[in-house]
């Protein structure tokens, strides 16, 4: 699936991913390839991205953390997620 993480400042992440886990209002949930369409509000927490061969713009590398299992993580205060047609867009704060 394709994932974009957008903030008021810029598009921080734009790449194909294997999975993404997000902090939903009712708890964390994960989306895989061809997930059903969904719109959800997000709370403060960590976005966890699993992908291979991802390149992040040098300006934004410091906003992401690579975990021991090779995933990327990104902290947010709140946000909104839309998943449609195998593309997830996260508007993060």
- Phi, psi angle pair for 6, to nearest 5°: -120, 135
What's the chain's average pLDDT? 94
Q: How far is CA 55 from the centre of its chain?
A: 14
Structure tokens at 44: 């403060």
Four-way CATH pick for 2-92: 3.40.120.10, 2.60.15.10, 3.90.228.20, 3.40.50.2000: 2.60.15.10
Closest CA to 64 of 47, 77, 78: 47
Per-residue pLDDT tens digits for 9-48: 999 999 999 999 999 999 999 999 999 999 999 999 999 9
Indicate the pLDDT class of residue 55, thresholds 50, 70 and 90: confident
Classify strands 87-92 and 79-84 as parallel, antiparallel or unpaired: antiparallel
């Amino acid at each position: 699936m394709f994932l974009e993480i957008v903030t008021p400042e810029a598009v921080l992440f734009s790449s194909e991913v294997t999975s993404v886990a997000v902090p939903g209002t009712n708890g964390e949930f994960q989306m895989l390839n061809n997930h059903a369409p969904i719109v959800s509000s997000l709370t403060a927490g960590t976005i966890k991205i699993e992908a291979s061969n991802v390149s992040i713009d040098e300006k934004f590398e410091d906003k992401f953390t690579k975990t021991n299992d090779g995933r990327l993580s990104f902290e947010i205060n709140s946000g909104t997620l839309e998943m449609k047609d195998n593309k997830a867009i996260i508007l993060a704060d």
